[in-house]
């Protein structure tokens, strides 16, 4: 396989995780999503919940302060904020993983962190708002907030996080090798196309 | 074929036109690029050169004034600038073409103009700066300007033009069904992937 590392960035509700997982399973390679969070949790002492919440989302100031006081994490590590410290540890974890084994990595700016490697295929999965709203209600159920508002909030946080650490625009096609509209193309076809390119 | 219309937006020097032309030839459907310009030229009285120069590029004020005085085009048509008038005619030409026959259309915001149709596959082709610089020098030769500067200028003009008429960001993956890095994936593979999706 010429592309032994596949990164999958995805809009919330686009089916990107489902696609990433299926690609890893069919290629018989490792899959890092929650697994990456666990790895970072072990190194930092942050709780998995905290990393899941803050590892991809630029937190509002109040949420951030609240979270760091709750878990008792020091606010500054060697001059860094807890948020920036989390980035450094996540980045190192990703660089370590890709040396170890072929894998699929979901989110966490892995596309940017690995952009100079020749053995990486960077994929972005998106879908129209209506399709994503329908999907998150089906998978995660209703909540107090309208699904469209939940999506907009997640999109906005991921975009801010990506900009903060990479200086790039989240969702800009030029940052990826392959971008797919999962609603138009279909989940199964997306999986097949990624596998085909990885094997090329 | 479930997607009878394929729009191809492309970064200058990415090989997008070559890809679009090959897709049309192999599918045996019409190809609109210069052909669209000719159609618009007939309707407007603008010269083909003027349309080619201004149909996709937001002109600087001075270039614009110069061009419109050269060809003697009226500056205002029914309250519209020549630039906006060109857009309206181009838009109508595209809407007319897609009613007539299956086809591949290159550039001219066709993705946006046709975005609400179910029979359209919107594709965006891009490539890293170095690969594009090498390609334009190979295909079009050297010029006074450095190839990187020629590319940056074209990119910037296309982005301004797209923003002006669509309100969207040019190159944002979410505006397309399929985005491909032609350098990483290869021209031939891009052609195959587009054909496969169009036939799906």
Give the nearest partner residue to A171 out of B173, B185, B200, using CB atoms: B173
The three state secondary structure string of B69-97 is HHHCCCCEECCEEHHHHHHHHHHHHHHHH
What stretch of H or E contains B189?
A: helix B187-199
How far does the CA of residue A23 sit from the closest CA of chain B (Å)?
18
* Per-residue confidence band for B49, with pLDDT thresholds at 50, 70 and 90: confident
C-alpha distances in angstroms, A39 versus A25, A43, A60, A132, B47? 20, 7, 25, 29, 63
DSSP A126-142: E--HHHHHHHHHHHH--
What percent of chain A has a predicted confidence (pLDDT) above 70? Answer: 86
Judge: A189–B172 Cβ closer than 8 Å, yes or no. Answer: no
Q: Is the pLDDT of residue B74 over 60?
A: no
For residue A181, the chain B residue with the least C-alpha distance is B177
What are the structure tokens assigned to A126, written together? 């998106």
Could you tell me the pTM of the whole model? 0.84
Closest-CA residue to B58 (of B180, B139, B153): B153
Q: How far apart are CA A12 and CA A135, in angstroms?
A: 10
User: Do the Cβ atoms of A179 and B173 come within 8 Å?
Assistant: yes
Cβ A178–B181 below 8 Å, yes or no?
Answer: yes
How is residue B169 annotated by DSSP?
P
CB-closest option in B121, B173, B189 to A200: B189
The CATH number corresponding to A5-199 among 3.40.50.300, 3.40.30.10, 3.90.105.20, 2.40.37.10 equals 3.40.50.300
Partner residue opposite B126 with nearest CB, options A174, A185, A189: A174
CB A86 within 8 A of CB A47: no
Asked if pLDDT for residue A69 goes beyond 80, the answer is: no
**ipTM, two decimals:** 0.83
Q: How do residues B88-118 score in pLDDT, each as one tens digit?
A: 888 888 898 899 899 999 988 899 999 889 8
pLDDT at residue B66, rounded to an integer: 41
| pLDDT tens per residue, range B143-174 | 888 999 999 999 998 898 889 888 999 999 99
Residue B69, pLDDT > 70, answer no
| Dihedral sign for Cα atoms in the order A166, A171, A176, A182 | positive
Query: What residue in A sits closest to B172 (Cα-Cα)?
Result: A172
Chain A residues with CB-CB distance to B180 below 8 A: 177-178
pLDDT for the residue B40: 73
**Minimum mean pLDDT among A26-35, A132-141, B72-81: which range?**
B72-81
Q: How confident is the model at residue A113 (pLDDT cuts 50, 70, 90)?
A: very high
* Exposure string for A1-30, b = 16+ CB within 10 A, e = fewer: eebbbbbbbbbbbbbbbbbbbbbbeebebe
Nearest to B179 by CA among A35, A178, A139: A178
């Amino acid at each position: 396989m010429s592309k032994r590392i596949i990164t999958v960035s995805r809009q919330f509700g686009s089916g990107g995780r489902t696609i990433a997982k299926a690609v890893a399973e069919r290629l018989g390679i490792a899959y890092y999503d929650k697994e990456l969070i666990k790895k970072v949790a072990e190194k930092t002492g942050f709780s998995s919940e905290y990393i899941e919440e803050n590892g991809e989302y630029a937190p509002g100031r109040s949420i951030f302060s609240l979270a760091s006081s709750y878990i008792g994490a020091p606010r500054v590590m060697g001059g860094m904020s807890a948020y920036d410290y989390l980035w450094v540890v996540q980045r190192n974890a990703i660089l370590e993983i890709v040396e170890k084994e072929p894998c699929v990595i979901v989110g966490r700016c892995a596309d940017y962190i690995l952009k100079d490697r020749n053995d990486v295929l960077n994929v972005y999965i998106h879908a129209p708002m209506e399709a994503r709203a329908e999907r998150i209600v089906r998978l995660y159920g209703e909540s107090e907030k309208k699904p469209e508002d939940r999506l907009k909030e997640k999109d906005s946080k991921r975009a801010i996080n990506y900009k903060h650490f990479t200086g790039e625009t989240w969702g800009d096609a030029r940052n990826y090798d392959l971008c797919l509209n999962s609603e138009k193309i279909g989940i199964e076809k997306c999986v097949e196309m990624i596998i085909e390119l990885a094997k090329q």
